[in-house]
Amino acid sequence: MGEASRLFRGPGGQGIRPPAVWAIMAVGFLAWTLTGVYTVQAYQEAVITRFGGYSRSVGPGLHYHLPIPIEKAELVSVTNQNKTVIGGVPGAEAPDESLMLTGDENIVDLSFTVQWHVSDAADYLFKVRDPSDAVKAVAESAMREVVGRSDLKSILTNGRGEVQSETLSLMQRILDRYNAGVTIDAVQIQNANPPAEVVPAYQDIARAGQDAQSYINDANTYRNRVVNEAKGDAAKIVQAAQGYREQVVREAQGQAARFNQLYAQYRAAPAVTRERLYIETMQQVLSHSRKVIIDAKGATAPIILPPDAFRASASAQTPPPSAPAAAAQSQGPDQ
């Protein structure tokens, strides 16, 4: 203690030595200058203010600014995701903030979240007093506007994606006008239901819609089955008609070829050919009918036949399939 006091006191124990004063001042000045050293992390951006006014923005790394209070660095996270919840928050200041009026004059109980990050640290700090509250207010206002243009059914069913997209675009436009330095990343509807008082009625409507869709699906299934069966039957009929056409054409071609052969024979020997055709035709006709042959030579008395002499038997009632064709063939040469 005595050695230290001798270093700072002057001759005769009076006052402080000037070198000691300068040393203290140098240490204090060094400590003051070191207040300007700061580090910016990879997820941060530093905003430098000079006498309270914006000076510049600095990215990640080790930096230096003029000592406090000349300049000051404020670090802002620019990559972390921020989340704001609107509606359905227990203990919220506005318990009815989730109740919104739809375009068809219905009420929907809707809660959603907004994910956002800081895109401009300087605007985020100086252009809006409380950016988090501003994001929440803009989100609620934009969602109410979009819901006010939408029908309740689309919000409850398959229209949520469009509502979310429109709300995000509207929020971004408003915040850009405010120069809030915020970028909206996503708007996600967490829950959308009619008010609790009318939930049973909407459940009945939903069940009716499901039943209607089920009936539509059954009808489409039946239609597809009937159409496919009809197409199969039509294809079968077309194939049968094509087969019958080929059969008739080939039979006609065969008959025409046979007629040409008979005509050639008829031109070579008309009488013989005519007689042969007559005999063949009579043979085909008489071979399938009941006949009574009478030899009239030497007969003097009337001939009496039994009643069933010409009655057709069961086997003779139906002519064979080849009989009409044979009859048609036999008439050809005579014509």
Q: What is the CATH number of the domain that holds 91?
A: 3.30.479.30
Judge if 51 and 130 occupy the same domain.
no
Judge if 106 and 187 occupy the same domain.
yes
- Taking only Cα atoms into account, the Rg of the chain, rounded to an integer number of angstroms, comes to 55
d(CA 252, CA 248): 6
Q: Is the pLDDT of residue 20 over 50?
A: yes
Q: Is the pLDDT of residue 328 over 50?
A: no
Judge if 87 and 190 occupy the same domain.
yes
- Give the pLDDT confidence score for residue 89 in this predicted structure: 55
- Give the pLDDT confidence score for residue 329 in this predicted structure: 44
Judge if 88 and 185 occupy the same domain.
yes
Which among 194, 217, 245 is the end of a domain? Answer: 194
Which among 165, 194, 223 is the end of a domain? Answer: 194
Judge if 111 and 69 occupy the same domain.
no
Q: Is the pLDDT of residue 22 over 80?
A: no
Judge if 43 and 109 occupy the same domain.
no
Q: Is residue 251 part of a domain?
A: no
Least confident residue range of 11-25, 267-281, 285-299: 11-25
Q: Is residue 173 part of a domain?
A: yes
Residue 17 structural domain: 2-75
Q: How many domains does the structure of the chain reveal?
A: 2
Exposed, middle or buried, 139 (CB in 10 Å: 0-12/13-18/19+)? buried
Q: Which residue has the higher pLDDT, 22 or 17?
A: 22
Q: Which residue has the higher pLDDT, 54 or 133?
A: 133
Which among 176, 194, 212 is the end of a domain? Answer: 194
Backbone dihedral angles phi then psi of residue 301, each to the nearest 5 degrees = -95, 155
Q: Which residue has the higher pLDDT, 117 or 7?
A: 117
| Digit-coded pLDDT (tens) for 81-108 | 899 998 865 444 445 678 888 888 888 8
| Digit-coded pLDDT (tens) for 225-274 | 999 999 999 999 999 999 999 999 999 999 899 888 888 888 888 888 88
- Select from 115, 121, 35 the least CA-distant residue to 78: 121
- Give the pLDDT confidence score for residue 216 in this predicted structure: 95
Q: Is residue 24 part of a domain?
A: yes
Judge if 154 and 124 occupy the same domain.
yes
Record the pTM. Answer: 0.51
Q: Is residue 31 part of a domain?
A: yes
Q: Is residue 318 part of a domain?
A: no
Q: Which residue has the higher pLDDT, 304 or 104?
A: 104
Judge if 63 and 95 occupy the same domain.
no
Q: Is residue 69 part of a domain?
A: yes
